Amino acid sequence: MNTEITYHRAYTDEELHQILEIQKQNLKVVLSETDKQSEGFVSVDHTFDALKRMNDACPHMIAKSGGQVVGYALCMLNEFRDDVPELIEMFNYMDGILEEKGLDEINYLIMGQICIDKHFRKRGIFRGLYAFLTTELQSEFDALVTEVNVKNRRSSEAHKAVGFELLDVHTEGGEDWELIILKLK
């Protein structure tokens, strides 16, 4: 197996299908409690159509090895806020917090989700995706904003390690969430 990792924007339907395959393997609803605690999880199951529309507007970031997608970071523009029903409440809450913190005028991108294939973890791909994303998007956006489930400690710690700062903690859908921001400029 080729272990060289390269970073790209997603441009093909095949790459999008590979993203969805990694996503399905890491959904909170399919993992054991042990795996959720040790490996982390993703909460949203995107449709191909929604993922493609998001990608057509702002191509997602991917990590590849041997021609296969092994990690991804989904780019979600504000215009897609109603396309993923699970995220509507997050967007509405986020708007209020950004305004309260005086950040409502910044040009930000929603980090729609980030995930690394289980077989490729602990190789720096998470950091690599964020470094690539920052290089690709810092001329267009001031910041990235996302939410992390408080129970997903692996993700929370990894996001803080790459520079995300806590904006707020709140309860949404019976779960506690950290609203976090990474300033790109």
Instruction: Order the strands of the 61-65 sheet from edge to edge.
Output: 6-9, 61-65, 68-76, 108-116, 143-149, 175-183, 165-172
The rounded radius of gyration (Å) of the Cα atoms in the chain is 15
The pTM is what? 0.92
Which residues lie closer than 8 Å to 12 by C-beta, 6 or more apart?
none
pLDDT per residue, tens digit, the chain (185 aa), is 447 999 999 999 999 999 999 999 998 898 888 888 888 888 888 999 999 999 999 999 999 999 999 999 999 998 888 888 878 888 888 999 999 999 989 999 999 899 999 999 999 999 999 999 999 999 999 999 999 999 999 899 999 999 999 999 999 888 899 999 999 98
- Residue labelled with tokens 């998007």: 137
- pLDDT number for residue 1: 46
Burial 30-67 (b: 16+ CB within 10 A, else e): ebeeeebeebbbbbbebeeebbeebbeebbbbbbbbee
The CATH code of domain 6-183 reads: 3.40.630.30
Q: What pLDDT does residue 32 have?
A: 83
